[in-house]
Amino acid sequence: MPTYEYECTICGTHFTRWQHFTDPPVQVCPRGHHAVRRVFSPPAIVFKGSGFYVTDNRNNGNERPKTTEREEGEKATTAAD
């Protein structure tokens, strides 16, 4: 069930409510005022690790993909065969 944050425009009280998606928005603040608005904030998502940045998984088109020493050795042995 999502948590929604509200603010009273009269007294400035911030409060949260757990509501279903189908529930109507809250109309009254805990102090009884009838001027309530829903506060929108960015989601709390944190991306960690590699692969989440443009520079991690793309090249400029001019650069060859980086290879490890082991891959270079395998290429040399297959070319000699």
Neighbours of 8 (CB within 10 A): 20
Query: Which tokens belong to 16?
Result: 């949260």
pLDDT in tens, 41-68: 887 777 776 665 655 555 555 555 565 6
Q: Which residue has the higher pLDDT, 30 or 55?
A: 30
* d(C-alpha 68, C-alpha 70), whole Å: 5
**Average pLDDT for residues 32-46, to the nearest whole number?**
87
